[in-house]
Amino acid sequence: MHTNTGKVPIPADSHQPRLDLVAVKADFPILDQRINGRRLVYLDSAATSQKPWVVIRAITDYYRKQNANIHRGLHFLAERATAAYEKTRAHAANFMGGVQREEVIFTRGTTEAINLIAYTWGEANIKEGDEIVITEMEHHANLVPWVILAQKKKAVLKQIPITFCGHLDLSDIDNIITPRTKLLALTQMSNVLGTINPVAKLTELAHKQGAIVLADGAQAAPHMPIDVKELGVDFYAFSSHKMLGPTGVGILYGRRELLEEMPPFNTGGEMIDEVHFDRVTWAELPHKFEAGTPDIANVVAFDAALTYLEELGLESIRRHEMELTGYAIERLSQIKGLEIQGPREPAQRGGAISFTDPNIHPHDISTFLDSRGIAIRAGHHCAQPLLRILGKTATARASLYIYNDEADIDALIEALVEMRRYFGV
């Protein structure tokens, strides 16, 4: 039997102001439409979030008033675009609890950020017989790069198992994280189970064994306050598009000493200091890791998303989502036979809620809900090994964010009940 020691209760702070849901919803123009004749109920924010007016406007404003390439032009627009781009970097550094701006690398998303670590730090540091530790609940983005690296280097890939309740099972952790461990790479919040993992505790254990720690914050950073220094991690990755920002932008935090030592990732323009036909030297951090023209407009607009989240307050966002997750789990549990994955306790999880109906395939669930204007995701959620462990080929997943309310959950429940009548179960 598994012993669960991986729980991280995060209490609801009742002192945090509540979100003004009417005002929040009004900020998202996409929600103001009908899909298949019904009010759009968007419950797929774990895949990507919707965008508020301020972000949409920031993109068009950039192209209307600021567009130029950055870090190379000396004219007015080039300087203004560079300043706007670098403002987002400084903002992201503060958003993560106050790290140095040189420690913030722009990528295309979490996937590219993790690949960057695998292809630079991993290539340089992982040797035959070394151990890389991940968990059984990783998204492919934090799994495939390590499978490939382990195979290439003849290293060993180990997994921290999960309990029946969807927590990490830490009962045998001393035999999993050992002096042979070179890297611990784990998600802070599962995109399938919703589980919030004890990253700080595991980082401490890994550091005691001399390992480096990378946390995948793709599902956590949009929903709760993040302080990478408190977590203690060496690398932290997340995506703009899951937190109200544009697609095509990700953040990689890396501890400065590690980034200084690492070889570059992509090479070419912008990431160099001196280029000769027989040798090249690299630019200072963070530019060493940002070759070529980046997604300037979307990086600039990401600043508006961060401001929007901060103005609502990450604590208030967490409070809202905990309450709504609790309500959703309670209502889904009332549907007889529906199987819900992951922890039941909202304090120990986020608002990505996977479920299955014993008689209806998740794809059919999704299609039926779509006919009622409700968007969810169905499939393996880019976590095939986890789904195999759960004994599923697919699940349906409703995922919540700031613009969802109890009426959205009620619409979901009503449609699920109607679906069962429709399928005669």
Active-site residue list: 382
Q: Do 104 and 89 meet the contact criterion of CB atoms below 8 Å apart?
A: yes
Give me the helices (H) in 71-135, please: 76-95, 110-117, 123-125
Of 111 and 181, which has the nearer Cβ to ligand C6P?
Answer: 111
Kindly state whether residue 88 participates in binding ligand C6P, applying the rule CB under 6 A. no
Q: Is 47 in the site for ligand C6P (CB under 6 A)?
A: yes
Q: What is the helix (H) or strand (E) element at residue 423, kind and residue range?
A: helix 406-423
Residue 64 burial (C-beta neighbours within 10 Å; 0-12, 13-18, 19+): exposed
**Which residue, 47 or 148, is less far from ligand C6P as judged by CB?**
47
- Which residues, including other chains, have CB under 8 Å from residue 358's CB and lie 6 or more apart? 337, 339
Residue 75: strand, helix, or coil: coil
219 counts as binding ligand C6P under rule CB under 6 A: yes
Whichever of 181 and 195 has its CB closer to ligand C6P, that residue is 195
Q: Which of 248, 420 has the CB closer to ligand C6P?
A: 248
Region near ligand C6P per CB under 6 A, out of 134-142, 171-179, 201-209, 295-303:
134-142
The binding track of 94-113 with respect to ligand C6P, each residue x by CB under 6 A or -, is ---------------xxx--
- Closest CB to ligand C6P among residues 81, 353: 353
Separation in Å, CA 103 to CA 129, 229, 351, 353, 410: 30, 12, 30, 33, 44
349 binds ligand C6P (CB under 6 A): no
Distance between first and last Cα of the chain: 34
State the minimum distance, in angstroms, from the CB of residue 111 to ligand C6P.
Answer: 3
C-alpha dihedral sign at 220, 16, 320, 91 = negative
Pairwise CA distance, residues 216 & 218, whole Å: 6
Residue found by looking up tokens 């989502």 in the block: 321
Which range, of 115-123, 137-145, 279-287, 289-297, touches ligand C6P by CB under 6 A? Answer: 137-145
Q: How far is the CB of 123 from ligand C6P (least distance, A)?
A: 20
Residues in region 362-391 near ligand C6P by CB under 6 A: 377, 381-382
Q: Are strands 250-254 and 235-239 parallel, antiparallel or unpaired?
A: antiparallel
Spatial CA neighbour of 320 closest among 96, 21, 7? 21
Report if residue 239 touches ligand C6P, rule: CB under 6 A: yes
Q: How far is the CB of 241 from ligand C6P (least distance, A)?
A: 6
User: In whole angstroms, how close is the CB of 276 to ligand C6P at the nearest point?
Assistant: 36
Question: Tokens representing 189?
Answer: 């919040």
Q: What is the footprint of ligand C6P within residues 147-166 (CB under 6 A)?
A: none
What number of chain residues touch ligand C6P (CB under 6 A)?
Answer: 17
Nearest-approach distance from CB 14 to ligand C6P, in angstroms: 29
Map residues 169-208 to x or -, x wherever contact with ligand C6P holds by CB under 6 A: ------------------x---x-----------------
In angstroms, give the least distance from the CB of 270 to ligand C6P: 22
Q: Which of 218, 312, 317, 365 forms a contact with ligand C6P (CB under 6 A)? A: 218
**Tokens for 43?**
């419950």
**Residue (191 or 341) nearer to ligand C6P, CB:** 191
Residue 331 neighbours by CB under 8 Å, 6+ apart: 409, 410, 413
> What is the rounded distance in angstroms from the CA atom of residue 260 to the CA atom of residue 241?
28
- String of contacts with ligand C6P for each residue 2-41, x by CB under 6 A: ----------------------------------------
88 close to 101: Cβ distance less than 8 angstroms: no
Pairing of strands 38-39, 34-35: antiparallel
Is 135 a binder of ligand C6P (CB under 6 A)? no
Stretch that binds ligand C6P, among 157-165, 216-224, 273-281, 341-349 (CB under 6 A): 216-224
CB of 109 to ligand C6P, least distance (A): 3
Measured from the CB atom, the residue of 10 and 382 that comes closer to ligand C6P is 382
- Residue selected from 84, 105, 126, 141 as contacting ligand C6P according to rule CB under 6 A: 141
Contact 413, 332 (CB under 8 A): yes
Across the beta sheet with 156-160, the strand order is 104-107, 250-254, 235-239, 212-216, 181-187, 131-135, 156-160
Provide the binding-site residues for ligand C6P, judged by CB under 6 A: 46-47, 109-111, 139, 141-142, 187, 191, 216, 218-219, 239, 377, 381-382
